[in-house]
Structure 1
Amino acid sequence: MQGQQNKAIPSSFLCMNFLCILLPLIVIGTSAAKVPAVIVFGDSSVDAGNNNYIPTVARSNFEPYGRDFQGGKPTGRFSNGRIPTDFISDALRVKPYIPAYLDPKYNISDFATGVTFASAATGYDNATSDVLSVIPLWRQLEYYKDYQNKLRAHVGEIKANETISEALYVMSLGTNDFLENYYTMPGRSSQYTPGQYENFLAGVAENFIKKLYGLGARKISLGGLPPMGCLPLERTTNFVGGNDCIPSYNNVALEFNSKLKILTVKLNKELPGIKLVFSNPYFILLSIIKKPSRYGFQSASVACCATGMFEMGYACRRGAMFTCSDASKYVFWDSFHPTEKTNSLVANYVVKNVLAEFL
């Protein structure tokens, strides 16, 4: 898929941090893009298939995943189609989708205008990436350093430095740290209270942003957590609460998001020339979940894939015969990840309300 054509594509292992709307329509004017590339770090919310090339069960490179993506083929995206960063890239007039760095179908000529280093099932905490043996955040940064060397060799020092400083860097992770690690595995919960763990993760985020800044990044979007207590799996297992959202999980998401917002204010003051923004998907996604019909959905409590209650990954393939026929009627594709339609709505909101300054 080298030399991608700029045409429309039919539109967090845990986690996700971002009416099918054609996002390019929100771009005013016809001038060239101000952002030359979109560079992505994170988890399954923004992994376009890196996990296909590492030994892990946290994969989605099989049907019914990707059935509404270009060509109807699974790519490793945890959705029926495009993911938020694909829509963001399209809205910024860069390209219609962001390729995975480890995918051998692409090379530096493709990555020069956008690439994702994200890995499904990872988090800020190295212990989170260890759960399912995926790519930790520090390794994603090492891949980015390798990318910089390749970019300089490909376009030259001056052009590469321009791309590095003008590119939009998107970070989308954190849900797995709580749902896959803190609330599931022994270890962190015995070391930290939820609030202390939030502080620990925010510290990791701060150090990562400072390292990115040191490597030349200036335009950075720090993604917040979704209302993770409202994911179908959490609702399915909430027997006491009558299968409603789990308030305690949502409260943690709100608390952590507040700390990330404070972090953006702090770093914008400390780091000269940085434009760090906080992209918060919480309230728009909660609005969609609470009033799905307003957005053209029929179901928000169960997902499209299989029974819609607890399946994701390989369980979706095993239950494919039960998968819904029209994903656009569902807020969620599997028990943790949104459908392409939801991704487009959340990305559209983030672009118009947060990332518009980069247009």
Structure 2
Amino acid sequence: MEKQTLSSLFSLLFLFLLPLAFTGVQGIKELYGVYNGTAKLFVFGDSYADTGNSPVSLAGSWKQPYGVTFPGKPAGRFSDGRVLTDYIALFLRIRSPIPYKWRKYVNKSKLRYGMNFAYGGTGVFNTLVDQPNMTLQIDFFQKLIQQKVYTKQDLDSSIAFVSVAGNDYSTFNAKIGNQTEVPAFTKSLVNQISINLKRIHDLGVKKIAVTGLEPLGCLPDQTFASSFQQCSETPNLVSKFHNQLLIQEVQKLNLEKKTSAFFILDLYSAFTSAISNLKNYTEQSKSVNPLQPCCVGTSEGFSCGRVNEKGEKKYSVCKNPEESIFWDLVHPSQNGWHSVYLNLQSSLHQFY
């Protein structure tokens, strides 16, 4: 009887504490405060970091129901709300940096938080999306420095966040698809990431965080085949190999520069922990499948945000996005990113 009582109390306590993990931005405000930091954040990469650079005419992130949680309408983020860039900015106590393409349309005072050069769908190399890859994004940054938009003094308090590689593997699979060539491709990819990180540092950025690859086999576009019941092992092995090489390259960069300027944000562990935590919760609540996206297409060929020629919605949205990990087939929800962020907090302290 005593064991059953303790078990029941534990379950109630767990269910009581769980919402604290889903408090989102308000919870971070209470922990850190906001908008009184002095750092400048420069962001490079893909849709995991993009906060509005991708073209309105092309990106699904500008269509409903994206942005339904924050800011309440589509605003260019590939999620129902905030993405990892926003949480990193909050950690640094600054506003999320302005997207590069909007720099000429905002008050110059907003440039003091840095700038976001990330474009959804892009990668280290050219991808299936005709948008600026990482090399071109760094070119944009260098040009702003040459134009004195950012001075050496600005860069002395600067930090870079780099999120890349997922789209490079998608492009590789679409164009080549030969798995025996993956190791060689990974080596060339990680080598180019290393070159790019070094270039950002040489431009004056003092601290640079680069994401490891998330567990690709746990993304809904891979778990779909098992009705969202289990991750696919082969893509996850690719992620692990990529991350192993990336760790080695980052270590070499720090030795070469005789500094600790470069560090990795372990998305693989952060994603798997977020999924595992929600899975443990749902085993008690019977509510949410952590591998199933909140927004899904209702028929073949349609995905989140798509409509047919009559303008009819060809997607459905779950009742509680705030409990989901994934928003669509490849992107986390705001809650998913917040859960990932909570698992990255100890790493983020390396920024200081």
Scaled to the shorter chain, the TM-score interval is 0.7 to 0.9
Q: Which 10-residue stretch deviates more, 97-106 or 164-173?
A: 97-106
Q: Identify the residue that residue 337 of structure 1 maps to in structure 2.
A: 331
Q: Quote the Cα distance in structure 1 between the aligned partners of 2:83 and 2:312.
A: 23
Q: Secondary structure at the match of 1:347?
A: helix
Cα distance change on mapping 1:320 and 1:330 into 2, 3 Å: farther
Q: Could you tell me how far 1:143 is from its partner in structure 2?
A: 1.2
Alignment of 1:93-104 (within 5 A): 93-95=93-95, 97-103=96-102
Checking the alignment, whether the CA contact within 8 Å between 1:89 and 1:98 is kept in structure 2 is yes
Amino acid in structure 2 at the alignment position of 1:175: G
Q: Could you tell me how far 1:321 is from its partner in structure 2?
A: 5.7
Q: 2:144 matched to 1:147?
A: yes
Give the alignment partner of residue 220 of structure 1, picking from 203, 208, 219: 208
TM-score by structure 1 length?
A: 0.80
Partner deviation per Cα, 1:175-233 (whole Å, 9 max, x = no partner): 1111x2111223xx569721111100111111101211221112000111111111111
Give the alignment partner of residue 47 of structure 2, picking from 38, 44, 47: 44
Q: Identify the residue that residue 174 of structure 2 maps to in structure 1.
A: 184
Q: 2:345 matched to 1:357?
A: no
Cα distance change on mapping 1:313 and 1:109 into 2, 3 Å: farther
Name the % identity: 25
Q: Could you tell me how far 1:349 is from its partner in structure 2?
A: 2.2
Cα distance change on mapping 1:318 and 1:90 into 2, 3 Å: farther
Q: Identify the residue that residue 118 of structure 1 maps to in structure 2.
A: 118
Q: Could you tell me how far 1:358 is from its partner in structure 2?
A: 2.5
Cα distance change on mapping 1:107 and 1:148 into 2, 3 Å: farther
Q: Identify the residue that residue 6 of structure 1 maps to in structure 2.
A: none
Q: Secondary structure at the match of 1:109?
A: helix
Cα distance change on mapping 1:292 and 1:307 into 2, 3 Å: farther
Checking the alignment, whether the CA contact within 8 Å between 1:83 and 1:340 is kept in structure 2 is yes
Q: Which 10-residue stretch deviates more, 303-312 or 194-203?
A: 303-312
Cα distance change on mapping 1:170 and 1:318 into 2, 3 Å: farther
Q: Quote the Cα distance in structure 2 between the aligned partners of 1:59 and 1:339.
A: 15
Q: Could you tell me how far 1:318 is from its partner in structure 2?
A: 6.1
Partner deviation per Cα, 1:86-122 (whole Å, 9 max, x = no partner): 0110111112x33211025435431221221001111
Checking the alignment, whether the CA contact within 8 Å between 1:218 and 1:274 is kept in structure 2 is no
Q: Could you tell me how far 1:45 is from its partner in structure 2?
A: 0.2
Q: Which 10-residue stretch deviates more, 299-308 or 35-44?
A: 299-308
Q: Quote the Cα distance in structure 2 between the aligned partners of 1:226 and 1:107.
A: 36
Q: Quote the Cα distance in structure 2 between the aligned partners of 1:67 and 1:302.
A: 18
Cα distance change on mapping 1:73 and 1:99 into 2, 3 Å: farther
TM-score by structure 2 length?
A: 0.82
Residues paired across the two proteins, number: 320
Amino acid in structure 1 at the alignment position of 2:324: Y
Q: Identify the residue that residue 218 of structure 2 maps to in structure 1.
A: 230
Higher helix proportion = 2
Q: Identify the residue that residue 278 of structure 2 maps to in structure 1.
A: 292
Q: Quote the Cα distance in structure 1 between the aligned partners of 2:180 and 2:101.
A: 34
Q: Secondary structure at the match of 1:322?
A: strand
Cα distance change on mapping 1:321 and 1:294 into 2, 3 Å: same
Alignment of 1:8-87 (within 5 A): 19-21=22-24, 22-27=27-32, 33=37, 35-52=38-55, 57-70=58-71, 72-87=72-87
Q: Which 10-residue stretch deviates more, 75-84 or 265-274?
A: 265-274
Q: 2:263 matched to 1:277?
A: yes
Q: Identify the residue that residue 4 of structure 1 maps to in structure 2.
A: none
Partner deviation per Cα, 1:146-197 (whole Å, 9 max, x = no partner): 32245x35x7xxxx2122132110000111111x2111223xx569721111
| RMSD over aligned Cα atoms | 2.8
Checking the alignment, whether the CA contact within 8 Å between 2:295 and 2:304 is kept in structure 1 is no
Checking the alignment, whether the CA contact within 8 Å between 1:41 and 1:171 is kept in structure 2 is yes
Checking the alignment, whether the CA contact within 8 Å between 2:40 and 2:154 is kept in structure 1 is yes
Q: Identify the residue that residue 234 of structure 2 maps to in structure 1.
A: 248
Q: 2:170 matched to 1:170?
A: no
Q: Could you tell me how far 1:138 is from its partner in structure 2?
A: 1.4
Give the alignment partner of residue 195 of structure 2, picking from 207, 210, 220: 207
Cα distance change on mapping 1:323 and 1:37 into 2, 3 Å: same
Checking the alignment, whether the CA contact within 8 Å between 1:42 and 1:117 is kept in structure 2 is yes
Checking the alignment, whether the CA contact within 8 Å between 2:324 and 2:333 is kept in structure 1 is yes
Q: Quote the Cα distance in structure 1 between the aligned partners of 2:106 and 2:129.
A: 26
Checking the alignment, whether the CA contact within 8 Å between 1:305 and 1:320 is kept in structure 2 is no
Q: Could you tell me how far 1:341 is from its partner in structure 2?
A: 0.8
Question: Higher relative contact order at CA 8 Å, sep ≥6: structure 1 or structure 2?
Answer: 1
Q: Secondary structure at the match of 2:295?
A: coil
Q: Identify the residue that residue 348 of structure 1 maps to in structure 2.
A: 342
Q: Which 10-residue stretch deviates more, 189-198 or 41-50?
A: 189-198
Cα distance change on mapping 1:173 and 1:253 into 2, 3 Å: same
Q: Which 10-residue stretch deviates more, 279-288 or 107-116?
A: 107-116
Structure 2: gaps spanning 5 or more residues: 1-21
